[in-house]
Amino acid sequence: MRYLIGDVPLWLGEEDSALAARAAERLGVPASALRDLSVTRRSLDARRKGHPRWLLQLEVTLEGALPGGHPGVRPAPAPEPPPPRARAPDAPPIVVGAGPAGLFCAWGLLERGVRSVVLDRGKPVVPRRRDVARLMRAGELDPESNMNFGEGGAGAYTDGKLGTRIHHPAVRKVVELFARFGGVQRILEEGKPHVGSDVLPAAVAAMRGELEAGGCRFEWGARAVDLEVAGGRLRGVRLADGRTVDGDRVVLAPGNSARELYELFAARGWPVEAKPFAAGFRVEHPQALIDRIQYGPAAGRAGLPPADYKLAENPRVEGKARGVFSFCMCPGGVVVPTPTEPGMQCTNGMSNSARSSPLANAGLVVAVSPEDFAAEGFEGPLAGLAWQRKWEAAAFALGGGGYRAPAQRLADWLERRPGAAPGRSSYRPGLTHADLEALYPPALRAALRDGVRGFERRMRGFSTAEAVLIGVETRTSAPCRLVRGEDFQAPGVTGLYPAGEGAGYAGGIVSSAVDGLKVAEAICAELGEA
């Protein structure tokens, strides 16, 4: 019998050889009774400042069943059987978008014997990397190939964190596939699995290679501009070059920056609605400072990873509670430009697998809703999109162009003073010292300030003069939702399957990938078994 044992402690510096004795003690059996032992999860517990330790989940094999009454011990789940093959469709499903949702949808379909055609407006990872470098080095944006568009989607160049808040059996499958294609077995036991922006593009390319070997077809530079619909049924996808790719099942997984598709849905009267998201700034600190705050006297000890943090506050502003929180925290990372349209400035964070940068960054954001959009004069299904564009354009102007980011020391922004020029930053093409009071409505700025003061109470030193606030962070998730029913299809458009973060049903690499797998299951259920 196989069992999972949770929260087995291992002090920093201790060897894994101590685990067998601790596992046997938890099970109430001699160590010789263990036939196999492996670590399935390893999380750092730094709650006791100065005394960090690892908490591990172990999987062990025993001969025979274990009597009940062992807290924190449960039977290990049985391996899932291979999925049944689906009936072959008349035409291959079309997947629009080669980000996590699109790639994993194509994978889920191929597992059931269904080959698909994957269309992406951007480029494969190697030429895409050159376009990303040009944006960071020279401030030159390619609207079709950048941090958001191209093979792997936004996730390929924005950190590669594989943590998620969703609980779904497919989460483990997603992590296992990234481990396999990226050659990073370590993530299978990491409590906060992190592939790294230096590894993830190659993993995505390897996955695409296996999909192609299985009969899937990929087309690059293939921007979808319209959908062919007749009698309420999908008939194909029209591309910017004038071609039409025929097919009666289309998975729309465009990523959260495919703004033209939101506009298309609104123009055609197809089901699309505004949704809440979050916006704010990116804040950057010296990593050593975050280590001292989080680890206390243990900071700098060998074996400790760069410290991270996750913070949330709910200040009341003008009688309304506002959620303020850290987003996509990148220890040992860099701040990067993520615009997709000329004249629009926005940022995100990323880190390589080693997390070796001397700086740490995170989004510092506040929840915004259709009520906030209406206050700025934007209503209807595209209200959030218009709101995003307003503040991205304002940030671009404040930065002086060339995708330089407007920035200010956090301590100065808190006190509403111009202050000195910001200190060192990882952001390229560079910073422009600016008064960030010009960005966002007063109520949102007030909520952010109150939230930062709450963060300071929990992390003394967070508001140091070394911290730099960089504008703006606006694309935490999609501003619109492409409505779908319980069958995962858009009401009134049979065969159209919105998927992933861009459709408003996920938020991050893993949840997008899981949503892609769920859509693949829905298509195969509609096809029926072979």
How confident is residue 182, by pLDDT bands cut at 50, 70 and 90?
Answer: very high
For residue 308, the model assigns a pLDDT of 96
End-to-end C-alpha distance for the chain, whole angstroms: 35
3-state secondary structure of 526: helix
For 52-63, what is the mean pLDDT? 94
How far is Cα 339 from Cα 395, in angstroms, rounded to an integer? 11
pLDDT given for residue 357 in this prediction:
96
Average confidence (pLDDT) over 152-176:
86
Sheet hosting strand 244-246, strand order edge to edge:
224-230, 233-239, 244-246
- Written as one letter, the residue type at 517 is L
Q: pLDDT tens, 481-501?
A: 999 999 999 999 999 999 999
Please report, rounded to a whole number, the percentage of residues in the chain having pLDDT higher than 90. 89
pLDDT in tens, 79-89: 888 899 999 99
pLDDT in tens, 105-126: 999 999 999 999 999 999 999 8
Please give the pLDDT value at position 71: 87
Give residue 161's pLDDT.
86
Residue bearing tokens 């410290």 = 307
Query: How many angstroms from the chain centroid is the CA of residue 206?
Result: 20
Q: Which residues pair with 326 in a beta bridge?
A: 364
* Distance, CA of 170 to CA of 337 (rounded, Å): 31
> Mean of the pLDDT values across residues 180-189?
94
* Strands of the 250-252 sheet, one edge to the other: 217-220, 117-120, 94-96, 250-252, 496-498
pLDDT digits (tens, 9 = 90+) for 356-414: 999 999 999 999 999 999 999 999 999 999 999 999 999 999 999 999 999 999 999 99
Res. 222: pLDDT tops 90: yes
Contact 165, 183 (CB under 8 A): no
Secondary structure (DSSP) of 393-447: HHHHHHHTSTTPEEEEEHHHHHTT---SPP-----SS-EEE--GGGSS-HHHHHH
What is the pLDDT, as a whole number, of residue 66? 84
State yes or no: pLDDT of 67 exceeds 80.
Answer: no
> Is 145 in a helix, a strand, or coil?
strand
Write down the pLDDT at residue 174. 95
Superfamily of domain 94-273+481-527: FAD/NAD(P)-binding domain (3.50.50.60)
Q: Are strands 359-368 and 277-286 parallel, antiparallel or unpaired?
A: antiparallel
How large is the average pLDDT for residues 149-167? 85
**Residue 38 scores a pLDDT above 80:** yes
Q: Which CATH architecture has domain 2-75?
A: 2-Layer Sandwich (3.30)
The dihedrals phi and psi of 411, each to the nearest 5 degrees, come to -60, -40
pLDDT band at 147 (very low <50, low <70, confident <90, very high): very high
Q: Mean pLDDT across the stretch 265-284?
A: 97
- 312-313 β-sheet, strand order: 312-313, 324-330, 359-368, 277-286, 468-473, 405-409, 431-433
pLDDT over 70, % of the chain = 100
Domain boundaries, the chain: 2-75, 94-273+481-527, 277-473
Mapped onto helix, strand or coil, the DSSP state of residue 366 is strand
Buried b (16+ CB within 10 A) or exposed e, 372-395: bbeeeebeebbbbbbbbbbbbebb
Both tokens of residue 266? 């609104």
As a whole number of angstroms, the distance between CA 200 and CA 183 comes to 10
The three-point CA angle 260-265-268 to 5° equals 120
> For residue 192, what are the contacts with CB-CB under 8 A and spacing of at least 6?
43, 161, 163, 308
* The pLDDT value given to residue 279: 98
Q: Taking residues 144-161, report their average pLDDT.
A: 88
Determine the Cα–Cα distance for residues 356 and 215; give it in Å rounded to an integer: 39
pLDDT digits (tens, 9 = 90+) for 307-355: 999 999 999 999 999 999 999 999 999 999 999 999 999 999 999 999 9
* pLDDT beyond 90 at 48: no
What's residue 65's pLDDT?
80
Give me the torsion for CA of 77, 82, 86, 88, rounded to 10°: 150
Contact between 253 and 95 (Cβ < 8 Å): yes
Mean pLDDT of 175-199: 93
